[in-house]
């Protein structure tokens, strides 16, 4: 079985590394030549735990990488499409990369007897595979089931645990209308995964909707607990973590994604929720709950700014320390990071920013250049600062000793993740969601 993976971002490269490590013949394809050169050397262009070691194994076992779709691509048995699906300025899904891939595949499928199975793994709104991708592939007399098979197979990876999720997915969804092609992919997965992995067969549009339903529900849980955290913040003695812990004991709820914080970010939840809202509006339903989830998340940064302005009377020239730049721990991803957006607001207020993150400094420096100061040790954020805001729950931040916080001008900490254990009364500690500030 030969496999091609088109798009070597977070999803595609994780899949290529895992399949290649299983000694499956894999060809990875990406238009970004700079990225490709790094990957060919065994160096992922982004940080993801365990990815580098799996990528090295894959390369050692013969995984190759190319910069374009050719007739050779069509000779693969399975062609996974894992390109990005950003949103446009109107918050609608932008399918330009998907359409480009479909065009290239169609151009190269003529004059070949090989019938590949094309699998849309990118996140796309319901109907995209059938009503957008299929017509492009069939544009010049090609026909599904005759010249190619077409399936939808969404992914459910979490940044920071992408390899673990690729190796042991909680569910595998195969969407399609052709039994033969569905069975082909099912048998492929049965060979590389254990019998414990649940495989669900459905149609293309339902498979597409399942992905959006998952992400939207998880985003809803985050916004829900963040709303509770704001209420808890205003009640003396109430701790949102205790509330969430007991909620999580209820098997109907579970504890995952019930950790209050500064709001969700990253490459998936923000864009996918907005895309689903726009899609829902386009089919005639105004999704008020999803809109509220989105608005609640956007409001989190205002809550943090209100805490800052309430405790610092003059922001101009105030030195603000930022602990954590990535949108979550165990990644260097700063897309839709609350930290980045907060820094932008503070710079508009003429604040001076000093920041630390164990993984995301390089990515953040590309945005701010020399407008803010980056330090290599978290303790250095403390010196002569007016306020420290902890935004990303890196474990090493819990190891900062209290004596370092006493080096601040007037010790003030806003901990949006409530991971610091501050006992010294000289330090004003505000844990978001921990009683009256």
Is residue 50 packed enough to be buried (19+ CB in 10 Å), middle (13-18) or exposed (0-12)? middle
Residue 105 CB: number of other CB atoms within 10 A?
Answer: 23
The pair of structure tokens assigned to 432 is: 């978001």
Q: Which of 232, 268, 351, 387 is catalytic?
A: 268
What are the strands, taking DSSP E only, across 122-226? 149-152, 172-175, 199-202
Mention every residue, 6+ apart, whose C-beta is less than 8 A from residue 48. 10, 14, 159, 160, 162, 163, 331
What's the N-to-C CA distance of the chain in angstroms?
60
Cβ–Cβ under 8 Å, residues 247 and 253: yes
CA distance 129 to 126: 8
Using CA of residue 242, residue 158, residue 216, residue 322, what is the dihedral sign?
positive
* Strand ranges across the sheet with 25-29: 64-66, 25-29, 2-6, 78-81, 117-120, 149-152, 172-175, 199-202
Is residue 232 flagged as an active site residue?
A: no
Distance of CA 203 to the CA centre of its chain: 25
Show which residues are catalytic: 268
């Amino acid at each position: 079985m030969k496999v091609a993976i088109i798009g070597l971002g977070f999803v595609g490269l994780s899949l290529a590394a895992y399949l290649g490590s299983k000694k499956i013949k894999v060809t990875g394809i990406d238009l970004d030549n700079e990225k490709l050169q790094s990957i060919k050397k065994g160096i992922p262009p982004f940080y993801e735990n365990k990815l580098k070691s799996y990528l090295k194994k894959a390369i050692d076992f013969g995984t190759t990488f190319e910069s374009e779709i050719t007739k050779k691509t069509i000779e693969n048995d399975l062609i996974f499409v894992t390109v990005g699906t950003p949103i446009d300025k109107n918050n609608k899904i932008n399918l330009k990369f998907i359409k480009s891939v479909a065009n290239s595949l169609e151009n190269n499928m003529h004059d070949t007897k090989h019938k590949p199975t094309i699998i849309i793994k990118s996140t796309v709104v319901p109907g995209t595979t059938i009503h957008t991708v299929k017509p492009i592939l069939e544009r010049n007399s090609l026909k599904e089931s005759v010249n190619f098979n077409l399936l939808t197979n969404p992914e459910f990876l979490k940044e920071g645990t992408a390899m673990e999720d690729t190796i042991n997915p909680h569910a595998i969804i195969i969407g399609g209308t052709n039994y033969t092609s569905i069975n082909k992919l099912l048998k492929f997965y049965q060979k590389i995964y254990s019998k414990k992995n649940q495989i669900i067969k459905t149609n293309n549009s339902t498979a597409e909707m399942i992905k959006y339903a998952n992400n939207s529900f998880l985003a809803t849980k985050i916004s829900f607990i963040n709303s509770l955290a704001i209420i808890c913040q205003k009640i003396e003695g109430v701790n949102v973590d205790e509330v969430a812990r007991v909620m999580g004991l209820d098997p109907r709820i579970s504890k995952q994604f019930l950790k209050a914080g500064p709001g969700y970010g990253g490459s998936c939840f923000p864009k996918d929720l907005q895309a689903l809202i726009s899609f829902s509006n386009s089919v005639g339903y105004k999704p008020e709950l999803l809109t509220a989830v989105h608005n609640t998340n956007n409001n989190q940064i205002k809550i943090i700014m209100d805490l800052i302005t309430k405790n610092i009377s003059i922001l101009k020239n105030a030195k603000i320390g930022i602990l954590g730049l990535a949108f979550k721990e165990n990644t260097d991803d700063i897309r839709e990071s609350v930290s980045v957006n907060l820094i932008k607001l503070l710079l508009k207020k003429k604040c001076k920013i000093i920041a630390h993150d164990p993984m995301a400094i390089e990515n953040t420096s590309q945005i701010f250049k020399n407008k803010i100061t980056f330090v290599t040790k978290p303790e250095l954020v403390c010196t002569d600062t007016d306020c420290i805001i902890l935004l990303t729950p890196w474990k090493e931040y819990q190891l900062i000793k209290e004596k370092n916080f006493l080096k601040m001008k007037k010790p003030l900490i806003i901990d949006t993740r409530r991971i610091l254990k501050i006992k010294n009364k000289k330090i004003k500690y505000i844990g978001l969601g921990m009683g009256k500030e």
